[in-house]
Structure 1
Amino acid sequence: MSSAAIRPLANMLPRNLFDAEHDAFRETVRKFYEKEVIPNTQKYELQQHVDRDLWNKAGAMGLLCASMPEQYGGSGVDRLYSMILIEEQAYAMDSSTGFSLHSDIVANYINNFGNEQQKATWLPKMATGEIVTAIAMTEPGTGSDLQAIKTTAQQQGDEYLINGAKTFITNGYLCDLVIVVCKTGDSEKGSANLSLLLVEANRAGFSKGKPLNKIGMKGQDTCELFFDDVRVPKENLLGLEGMGFMMLMKELAWERLIVAIICQAGAEAAFAHTVQYTKQRKAFGKSISAFQNTRFKLAELRSEIDFCRAYLDRCMQLQLEEQLGIDAAAAAKYKISEMFSKVVDECLQLHGGYGYMMEYPIARAYIDNRANRIYAGTNEIMKELIARSL
């Protein structure tokens, strides 16, 4: 079932976010996934990362860093284009490509906090796919608690000396440039200690582990990064020293909304595949969809999907108006990722034994989905953020 066939079933609520130009862009993105990504899914899962030239192909089609200013190689468009890219990836049921982290997280840090030289040097190369980027926050002993990181960057003359390790880094294996969250200075004031440094992958002392063997999202490039006396010039500091935590907090709301978009579209795709399957699959002389239990279960799932879609689209409107609050983004990430987990579990059940077979899209969705309740801050942390706003 193609992503083109999914969308009429998936988008059950009328949406007024998009215009004709958005729709044309969506068609371009859909064709890219159907031609370049979906046929290679098994290959990417076996090698645990996409082919490097896929990034160049995406760049050539204007699918990378689209929301960046035109002067830096982007198209200068709004984040609805980013939403379309993320949705179409989910409708294609692809978990291999790390484009959104590259284009909508790393690029934003550089564009929002970088100086003119940093933006002119890196953003055009990111837009064409000449370089792949990552951001390194999580450490082997530190997950959601960013203030507890151990990686250090000691200033020595005109350089920083970086030591430490990061793990679970998306795009880490193929990355040419990574933003590293480090502790700088001698301050013991927690968040006042954090800074962001741009580190090129070819610097001495910087090494990468093998792609990590995950239970799902096997085609996505995820690995550990190691920094052993890595020297970078002071010019590689992003923004101001000690302002890292503030910069991270400013971008985390959008990052969490990205996860919500992934989960919403993923739930819609899983539901669409299941509707089609229950109509075609027969038991006791009639289609599964004719049984009351199936009809009621699908009605229940559709209702939950529709309610979450309405909230997500409202959050997206607030994001476009630069009014999206940390609590609203946390609520979207928490609730919609929980909804996706319920939907994909119930949809697999409606597939019966075939739902456990990897050749059926629902099986891949089931195992790929689980990480959404963990990354970008666990759902437990999302509840804490919501509670703080009460």
Structure 2
Amino acid sequence: MARLRPRRREVVRRQQLLQIRGHSVTWLVPLLTLVGIAAADYNTSGEFRVVSWCVFVAAIAAALCGVWTTALFAVLALVTFVAGDAAWPDQYRAGPADFVLVLIGGVLSVLAAALRVRGEGRLLHIRHIADTTRRTVLRPLPPVWGGLDHAAVYLSADADARVGGDFYDIQPGPHGTRVLLGDVQGKGLGAVEAAAALLSTFREAAYHEADLRTVADRLETRMRRHREHTVALGRDDGDRFATAVLLDFPAGTEGVVDLVRFGHDAPLAVGPAGVRVLPHGDGLPLGLAALDPRAPPEVRRTALAPEETLLLCTDGVTEARDRSGTFYALAENLAAGVARVPRTADPDRLVAFVRDGTLRHCRGRLADDTTIFAVRRARPDTPRDEDPVRGHLPS
């Protein structure tokens, strides 16, 4: 397998901490520092010399700039030191010792910049792998898929992880369009593996099976088989489970939606008339059906107005807390938002509203990975020429 290497342009972009009109100006920081040192040395007395502080210039450049830029500032700092020191009488000169200090400091700064840039390249490579894994599990969806208009946003509790156990997908088929959203218990690659297993089963079963209860049964079986496989490998995630919501927009039947709930919060129907919780059963999470084999998944059908959008969220939203420990009041905030601006019920506006409200409430400190997914039957005037990854808003 060919080794993936981050493009040089991508590595440079990570160094653009300061920009003016899209152009990096990080070099201004060490340049202004060098000019300030030279000016201070020129305007101070001979007993107080600051020209030796030129050693800091290359160190600052190493923290902000690339290798060649750092090398350039190391040379400029050395030249500035020599020129500034030579301008003073012999009794006030810093001398060879400070010259060696600035020289060695410049060399070490260049080496430090090289190590930093190399580390950034490795980090970028790791993030590329994480993003590829995320796109594999959460495949990009067309803007209107299976007759459904949708939007989604994923927020990772760990900014560096970029991938977790939340999952969702839309699968059109001859029997209707099915939607699945869920959250695998736990974190790490084990949770990602379980999510991928459930999604692969969903994509096949949702297409071929006419009965939504059969799709639910196959998801339960897949979760159980996945746990048996991981235990056989000697791993300790034999008790892993997943909460989920399974929806069905039946073909040829407008104005209704079928719902199966696996221990997950019920979807909210959001429309100009307000916010309501969809009727739901009390199904067990996927992987735990053996605890009560007498309670098969229950399919609930409910009416859905054409202007209503279904909102599905993982517990990163419902468990978001502020400083006082108060949970985010999702339904109440949604009702107020829709009352002010009825178009908030549109899928893309809806997920953005919930995302922003959640982050404000917890001050950006998410306790868990968060997925916000909104879906409704597409209207005839729904634009179909948008970007094909519209369903994944930037996080």
Alignment TM-score > 0.5, same fold = no
Give 1 or 2 for the bigger CA radius of gyration.
2
Structure number having the greater strand percentage: 2
Structure number having the greater helix percentage: 1
TM-score class normalised by the smaller sequence: under 0.3
